Chains A and B, each alone.
Chain A
Amino acid sequence: MNNFIEFDTSSLWVVLPEIFLLSAIVVILLLDLFLNKYSQQVTYYLTQLSLLISGILSFNLIDHPQVIIFSGSFILDNMASVFKVFIMIATMIAMVYSRHYLRAHLLFRSEYFILVLLSILGMMVMVSGYSLLTLYLGLEILSLSLYALIAIAHERVYAIEAALKYFILGAIASAILLYGMSMIYGISGSLNINEIANFVSNTDLNSRRTLIINFGLVFLVIGIAFKLGSVPFHMWVPDVYQGAPTSVTLFISTVPKIAAISILIRILVDGLGSMHSYWSDLFMVLSILSITLGSVVALMQTNIKRMLAYSTISHVGFIMLGFVTGTLTGYSAAIFYTLVYILMSLAAFGMIILLNKQGFEVDQVSDFKGLSKHSPWFALMMLIVMLSMAGIPPLLGFYSKFFILQQIVSSGFITIAIFAVIFAVISTYYYLQIIKFMYFDEIDNKITINASMDMQLVLSMNVILILVVGLFPDFLIQLVLSLF
């Protein structure tokens, strides 16, 4: 039964992206000691290079036959590889945007990039984790780096407060998640996801064992809901989004969502899939609350980062609706929504960062006033992003909502679908408000765009991607459908 010693060097090829990234982090960290203050750009370029290489290494592992190695604690399947590639692409885009922000606010420190790389490593472990232990360790590597990343702007009182709130609530969430894990371990006698799955599917759903599994399940769902930021465990989201430096907000709002979705899939779908009827009810309540609160409270926000935080909460509600369906297509729809949301969120926060300049922090909705007169091109970009977030066809955001609602309706939850559509319409108001500010209001503060060429180029391409993939969504839909 015990195969702790089992080790095969050929399995190292499968974890090559992780091993490469870890070595790259060590090398960059050491190299950084010898760089002076003026050559810190080198750290940035090395970060981009190592992200690119581990992205390529992960890309090569797509279509690799599914293997479970290291005594069943690490899995490589198509989902893991595709997620890793997406993590790398999104982080590379986020780093291009971050550089502009960090330069403008004199926060350009190499620790920033090291911490980002470390959190990426944590996410890769989470995406490939196949035992409760690896999933937990990945989650902690990710969270600990993020706490430090927010506090990197240590002169700002708001950033420290955000870091502290995120830290306390994150620590509570991890502890609650662990309590659930201990219960599942106690009843099933194993930490491995496939052994847990075997145990659960062989359990008679009317026996008393189900009670203990259910008890653990509630804690697991609470822990995961905390990490995803769904109501009523959303308290940290608005505060962290508002308080953190915008480039960190951009990072937190995008890439870790993939990791959170994958821990959800590994534990609840792969591990406790046969208990679906129990956890889908919890998810239904969480997603309805998230959609309602996210759409309504965002209406009253004047701070754009806080507004986007509430909009994230309502998007998370939609993502969780995909898991209510209990069909594989429904789960694919949730993954599709996540990937689309990440693309849109990157572009939206990228636009906020674009307007930042030396000593001028953009964080109010009204800072977008009159943007169309100053820069028609970027006003158009913001228009596309906002319409896509609101879910207007033919943009990408429409297909993600459509895909989820279609799955919800075909599983017979018509009332929930109607409810979700009503709140999606309400949430359109605050997206349109930004468009109104950009096109119909006079400039009342001096907007200048002095971002470097690469930032402007990547941002434009990001938005054009939303438009193009929105016109031809088949490829992405086929991709997410092939993941299960």
Chain B
Amino acid sequence: MVSLSEYLILSSTIFCIGLVGIFVNRTNIITLLMCVELILVAVNTNFIAFSHFLGDEAGQIFVFFILTVAASEVAIGLAILTLLFRGRGSISVDVINSLKG
């Protein structure tokens, strides 16, 4: 039997991997999107674990909504990314630096 704290350790590890990935990644923007998805996976793990151990279904319902929203979020993100590629010919993180001051 896996205990609640083990789930929480797993989810916080995934969360940290996602967060560190965002800050150290200098290659391309799709990796950033993957890191955001990792954070959402950590959140989902949390909700499901809590929901299971509390015996309350609301957390699992929340997870369905998060999955749906994450899907539409990625759809919009990739659409914007396509536009960026059309304009700049690259999806490297380094090309989004023309706005500054």
Contacts and interface: CB of A to CB of B under 8 A. Distances in A.
A212 to B, nearest CB: 10
Contact of B81 (A137, A164, A302): A164
| Residue among B18, B22, B62 with most chain A CB within 10 A | B62
B39 A179 contact: yes
Contact of B83 (A140, A154, A175): A154
B10 interface: no
Given A179-B42, A183-B46, A186-B46, A151 B83 contact: yes
Contact of B80 (A160, A191, A302): A160
Contacts of B59: 182, 185, 191
A148 B77 CA distance: 9
Contacts of A300: 101
Contact of A178 (B40, B54, B84): B40
B26 interface: no
| Residue among B49, B98, B99, B100 with most chain A CB within 10 A | B99
A191 B62 contact: yes
Contacts of A151: 79-80, 83
Contacts of B72: 144
Given A133-B62, A163-B80, A175 B29 contact: no
A189 B59 CA distance: 9
Contacts of A255: none
A403 to B, nearest CB: 32
Given A171-B36, A171-B77, A161 B43 contact: no
Nearest to B75: A144
B5 to A, nearest CB: 11
Nearest to A151: B80
A15 to B, nearest CB: 18
Interface in B33-49: 33, 36, 39-40, 42-43, 46-47, 49
Chain A contact surface mostly: helix
Interface string A204-248: 000000000000000000000000000000000011001100000
B58 interface: yes
B88 A157 contact: yes
Given A171-B73, A179-B15, A189-B54, A164 B43 contact: no
Interface in B50-101: 50, 54, 56-59, 61-62, 65-66, 69, 72-73, 76-77, 79-81, 83-84, 87-88, 96, 98-101
B50 A185 contact: yes
Contact of B96 (A161, A182, A302): A161
Given A178-B66, A182-B50, A189-B54, 19 more contacts: A136-B65, A136-B69, A147-B80, A162-B99, A165-B99, A168-B33, A171-B36, A171-B73, A172-B22, A175-B18, A178-B43, A179-B43, A182-B46, A182-B47, A185-B47, A186-B49, A190-B56, A239-B99, A301-B101
